[in-house]
């Protein structure tokens, strides 16, 4: 495994100076962003960089393109992905989702869940197929062929004098290296409106025809991960040059029923031809000049010409792409909120600011498309490339807090699509509930994938209400009309889901659920603390939406709110779930997400929580949790709880806790482990936590409630949380 270079920071004391409320202070945004340019001076498989527009992204190595994808395959891979790039292997066996469904006896009734059935073998095969299909595609490797003087192909270790810099303010990556003493300078940029990348290369190697550009198509792995280096099965897909004329060419890639094009444009004279390796195409300059500019646009038929005929028109030039990148990123950085930690002497402030700046860059470049994103963005597949809707909160809610809710709405509008609504309604109806039950593990078309954990999660259910409410609060009153029908349908499920215990006169959540802390058995678990609070908040908010719409309060919502179970506690602290009185004595139950803290952190005070009990719970979790067995968003969640409890020092300490899964690599990515080398929910969590630390929440007792004494922090354009 490559060097992970964990950025573990030591907790130090703070001076007793007042925190600064800087809402009226202007921030030099460019200076803040450019303080955190990313610099690479050596090869490191975890240090790759990306350019992208939120719906398309390409990750590059030290050469500025994807010249050595196999070197990076166990680090941060050199992916090329678009939100439209999905593929399914033919379902020759006719597998059906019903083959992955199992009946459970819960609260005296049978309920069907789509799970990972193990037997009989036919059903297991159906599960495996449905989990793996459709999967997100790695669209291609775009790199340099670098030839040594003897004509052999150079390897990454042949490159010397390395220096590469990403400027997040412009989205430009400038790469310098030398091959056998000959310098090469590359500028890489991504287009902000098209799925296109462009490079400008300056080197004598261009004129010597020792620097060429290759495109190579890998084959999908249909495995949990796909890092884009599967070159097996060359006979199972087809790729051809469809057209070539002057300074442009078009390549078509066909996989089963799916196809797309890569359209090239370049300056000067060059020729695209089939390479020496299967599914490889090489662009060779004519040897007349030292400068080569190449653009590559990835496109489906509908986004290309509206037909299946090849086209060579409209590929943006390098200059056009660079202009689009600079303008697009400037517009982004000047929009919404900003935070400046530069006047704070504590060295932790600079590291926190670095994480804030680079997290914004990574999420804007990879996760602002029309679909909820996957955990690994547009770099490589995790869970077959499928989004998990419970993570949509961490991926996207910060946009509204940073005054950029138009970016949140792009993926929130996915829920409005008829096929997505139909899928959610079908789940609810099959299980005997009302309204819409939102999927957990899904694809871009809203089809539920079998999962023995995901099928029982419920904390994704209120997310639609929460996200819609954040959009409305961020100066978008039109969100009421736009989203209210789905808010009501979401709440209809939430009101029909709880089970009424006649003998105790209360509604319970469960049995038949797995809480956000995925350590409990579905058939035994009921009344998780965080989910109880979220249920109460969402139904209350749905009633408020009804009032604004001029609709009478829903009596079922009111009944559930009145009789929803109290938060479970024992020994003066809140339990993870009522069904787990051993929440803090069973070692297994002190691992994974400490989501009990989300009951006051992610959630506001709802009248259910007792502040003293939550403080004791926080102290116990802080002291006794198995932090090494957590995930990247657990640290922002803990920070948010500390902020709401009036513990600003702990809010910072949580964000910088020296734990492996809280590592932020030099490129800004949140590293988890050897399987998940990047984890964008952690990045989104940092942005949410910092917004709460600065702008606070409704009814905050103090300004900058999460900023420690002695920190001089400027901020502007941030919105308070509920």
Q: Which domains does the chain have, with CATH numbers?
A: 36-87+135-333 (2.70.98.50)
Half-sphere exposure of 1 (CA within 13 A, CB side): 7
Question: What percent of the chain shows pLDDT beyond 90?
Answer: 93
Query: pLDDT tens digits, residue range 327-368?
Result: 999 999 999 999 999 999 999 999 999 999 999 999 999 999
Evaluate whether 262 touches 251 at the Cβ level (below 8 Å): yes
Q: Compute the chain's Rg from CA coordinates.
A: 26
C-alpha separations of 300 from 303, 307, 506 in Å: 5, 10, 53
| Closest by CA position to 516, among listed 578, 566, 577, 464 | 577
Half-sphere exposure of 524 (CA within 13 A, CB side): 7
Residue 559 burial class via C-beta count within 10 angstroms: exposed 0-12, middle 13-18, buried 19 and up: middle
Residues in the chain: 722
3-state secondary structure 530-578: HHHHHHHHHHHHHHHHHHHCCCCCCHHHHHHHHHECCCCEECCEECCEC
Grade residue 702 by pLDDT with cuts at 50, 70 and 90: confident
Helices (H) and strands (E) in the chain, counts: 18, 28
Grade residue 646 by pLDDT with cuts at 50, 70 and 90: very high
Residue 376 has pLDDT above 60, yes or no: yes
Please give the pLDDT value at position 312.
Answer: 62
| DSSP symbols for 371-400 | SPPPTTTTTSBSGGG--BGGGHHHHHTHHH
Helix (H) or strand (E) holding 264: strand 258-266
The residues that bridge with 109 in the sheet, in sequence order, are 106
Average pLDDT along the chain: 94
Distance, CA of 8 to CA of 655 (rounded, Å): 11
Residue 678 has pLDDT above 90, yes or no: yes
Distance, CA of 614 to CA of 599 (rounded, Å): 9
Grade residue 303 by pLDDT with cuts at 50, 70 and 90: low
Structure tokens at 364: 């804007």
3-state secondary structure (DSSP) of residue 662: helix
Strands (E), 468-554: 499-501, 506-508
Please give the pLDDT value at position 438.
Answer: 98
* Residue entry with tokens 């790199």: 143
Structure tokens at 646: 């009036």
Residue 15 has pLDDT above 70, yes or no: no
C-alpha separations of 325 from 30, 49, 273, 667 in Å: 15, 15, 29, 19
| Closest by CA position to 172, among listed 68, 290, 54, 37 | 37
Distance, CA of 113 to CA of 442 (rounded, Å): 14
Structure tokens at 181: 């003493």
Distance, CA of 61 to CA of 46 (rounded, Å): 10
Please give the pLDDT value at position 5.
Answer: 34
Residue 4 has pLDDT above 90, yes or no: no
Please give the pLDDT value at position 703.
Answer: 86
Grade residue 408 by pLDDT with cuts at 50, 70 and 90: very high
Distance, CA of 12 to CA of 660 (rounded, Å): 19
The Cα angle at residue 684 between residues 683 and 690, in degrees rounded to 5: 95
Q: What is the mean pLDDT of residues 548-557?
A: 98
| Main-chain dihedrals φ then ψ at residue 89, nearest 5 degrees | -70, 150
Query: pLDDT tens digits, residue range 427-445?
Result: 999 999 999 999 999 999 9
Structure tokens at 640: 């948010």
């Amino acid at each position: 495994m490559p060097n992970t270079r964990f950025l573990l920071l030591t907790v130090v004391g703070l001076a007793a100076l007042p925190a600064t409320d800087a809402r009226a202070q202007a921030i030099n945004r460019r200076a803040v962003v450019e303080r955190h340019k990313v610099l690479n001076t050596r090869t490191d498989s975890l240090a790759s960089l990306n350019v992208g527009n939120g719906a398309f992204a390409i990750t590059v190595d030290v050469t500025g393109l994807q010249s050595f994808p196999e070197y990076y395959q166990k680090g941060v891979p050199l992916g090329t992905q678009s939100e439209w790039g999905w593929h399914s292997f033919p379902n020759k066996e006719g597998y059906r989702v019903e083959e992955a469904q199992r009946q459970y006896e819960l609260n005296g009734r049978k309920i069907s869940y789509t799970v990972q059935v193990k037997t009989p073998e036919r059903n297991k095969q159906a599960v495996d197929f449905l989990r793996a299909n459709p999967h997100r595609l790695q669209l291609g490797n775009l790199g340099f062929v670098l030839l040594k003087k003897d004509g052999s192909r150079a390897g990454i270790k042949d490159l010397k004098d390395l220096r590469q810099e990403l400027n997040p303010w412009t989205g430009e990556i400038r790469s310098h290296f030398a091959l056998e003493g000959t310098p090469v300078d590359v500028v890489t940029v991504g287009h902000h409106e098209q799925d296109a990348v462009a490079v400008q290369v300056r080197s004598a190697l261009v004129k010597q025809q020792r620097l060429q550009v290759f495109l190579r198509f890998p084959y999908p792995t249909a495995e949990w991960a796909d890092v884009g280096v599967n070159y097996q099965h060359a006979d199972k897909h087809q790729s051809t040059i469809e057209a070539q004329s002057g300074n442009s060419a078009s390549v078509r890639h066909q996989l089963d029923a799916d196809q797309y094009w890569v359209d090239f444009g370049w300056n000067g004279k060059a020729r695209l031809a089939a390479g020496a390796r299967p599914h490889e195409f090489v662009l060779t300059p004519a040897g007349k000049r030292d400068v080569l500019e190449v653009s590559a646009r990835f496109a489906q038929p509908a986004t290309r010409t509206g037909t299946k005929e090849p086209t060579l028109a409209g590929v943006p030039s390098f200059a056009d792409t660079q202009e689009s990148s600079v303008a697009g990123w400037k517009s982004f950085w000047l929009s919404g909120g900003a935070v400046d930690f530069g006047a704070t002497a504590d060295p932790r402030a600079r590291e926190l600011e670095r994480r804030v700046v680079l997290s914004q860059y990574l999420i804007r470049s990879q996760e602002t498309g029309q679909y909820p994103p996957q955990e690994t963005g547009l770099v490589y597949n995790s869970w077959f490339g499928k989004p998990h809707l419970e993570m949509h909160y961490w991926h996207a809610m910060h946009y509204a807090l940073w005054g950029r809710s138009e970016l949140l709405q792009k993926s929130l509008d996915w829920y409005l699509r008829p096929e997505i609504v139909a899928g959610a309604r079908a789940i609810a109806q099959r299980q005997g509930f009302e309204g819409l039950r939102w999927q957990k593990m899904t694809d871009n078309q809203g089809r539920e994938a079998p999962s023995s954990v995901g099928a029982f999660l419920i904390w994704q259910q209120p997310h639609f209400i929460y996200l819609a409410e954040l959009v409305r609060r961020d100066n978008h009153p039109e969100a009421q009309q736009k989203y209210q029908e789905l808010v009501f349908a979401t709440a209809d499920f939430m009101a029909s889901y709880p089970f009424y215990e006649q003998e105790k006169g209360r509604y319970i959540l469960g049995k038949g659920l797995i809480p956000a802390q995925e350590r409990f058995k579905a058939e035994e678990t009921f009344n998780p603390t965080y989910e109880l609070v979220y249920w109460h908040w969402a139904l209350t908010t749905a009633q408020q939406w009804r009032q604004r719409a001029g609709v009478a309060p829903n009596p079922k919502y009111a009944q559930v709110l009145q009789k929803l179970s109290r938060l479970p506690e024992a020994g003066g602290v809140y339990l993870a779930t009522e069904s787990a009185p051993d929440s803090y004595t069973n070692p297994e139950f002190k691992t994974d997400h400490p989501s009990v803290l989300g009951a006051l952190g992610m959630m506001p005070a709802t009248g259910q929580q007792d502040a003293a009990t939550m403080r004791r719970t926080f102290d116990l979790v802080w002291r006794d949790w198995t932090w090494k067995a957590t995930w990247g968003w657990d640290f922002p969640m803990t920070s948010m709880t500390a902020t709401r409890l009036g513990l600003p020092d702990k809010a910072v300490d949580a964000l910088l806790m020296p734990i492996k899964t809280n590592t932020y690599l030099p490129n800004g990515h949140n590293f988890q482990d050897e399987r998940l080398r990047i984890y964008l929910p952690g990045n989104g969590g940092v942005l949410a936590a910092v917004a709460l630390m600065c702008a606070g929440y409704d009814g905050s007792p103090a300004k900058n409630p999460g900023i420690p004494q002695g920190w001089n922090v400027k901020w502007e354009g941030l919105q308070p949380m509920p």
